[in-house]
Amino acid sequence: MDQFPCDDEYLRTLGRAVYDFIVLDHAVACVINRMERGYLRDHQQRKRSTAGRVADDFKRFADKVGDAELRTKLQALQERFKDLGVDRNGLLHSTPVMLPGGSATLIRERDDGQNGLGEWSFTVLAPVYIAERAAEFRALTNDVLKVLRDEMSGADNDHGGEPEHSSLPEDL
């Protein structure tokens, strides 16, 4: 018996958001790989390569880029990636609950921590919220791929050489 029956469309929406973040994470790893050859291989082999760790790596490498305009673009992308990593964590580390009526959904719990009282707030992860996160993940992926394709494609740049093979699409 399914203890947490859930609407199939909800699960498809959640799966899409998770998939979209995985593609985003890979796109960011490809950008870092342009700055440090071998990063992509190391990233894929790490057992615990978290979104936070990738965001930290992205910042570290973006901050070293010599071209000021490109550095600024990469830093802005890194900030967006870091912020969306929080949303991704909210999806993956949410709590399943039963709603009145018997259907299941996910909630995100947060300790607001005002005045040390430990007041908790709950956000129901509605399908619209999840779909919006997925759209944000795809939009950032497209922005990352555009910078990768348009501004980091040559071996004659000052932020690395040719990338290792990656199977990223042109656009999502």
**For residue 84, what pLDDT is reported?**
96
**For residue 5, what pLDDT is reported?**
77
Q: Quick one: three-class SS letters along the chain?
A: CCCCCCCHHHHHHHHHHHHHHHHHHHHHHHHHHHHCCCHHHHHHHCCCCCHHHHHHHHHHHHCCCCCHHHHHHHHHHHHHHHHHHHHHHHHHCCEEEECCCCCEEEEEEEECCHHHCCCEEEEECCHHHHHHHHHHHHHHHHHHHHHHHHHCCCCCCCCCCCCCCCCCCCCC
**For residue 111, what pLDDT is reported?**
58
For residue 104, pLDDT beyond 90: no
Q: Out of 13-27, 38-52, 66-80, pick the least confident.
A: 38-52
Spatial contact of 10 and 127, defined as CB atoms under 8 Å apart: yes
**For residue 6, what pLDDT is reported?**
82
Question: In which band, very low, low, confident or very high, does the pLDDT at 38 lie, cut at 50, 70 and 90?
Answer: very high
Domain boundaries, the chain: 8-94+127-151
Right CATH for 8-94+127-151 from 1.10.3470, 3.30.70, 1.20.120, 1.10.1740: 1.20.120
pLDDT in tens, 137-166: 999 999 999 999 999 986 444 444 444 445
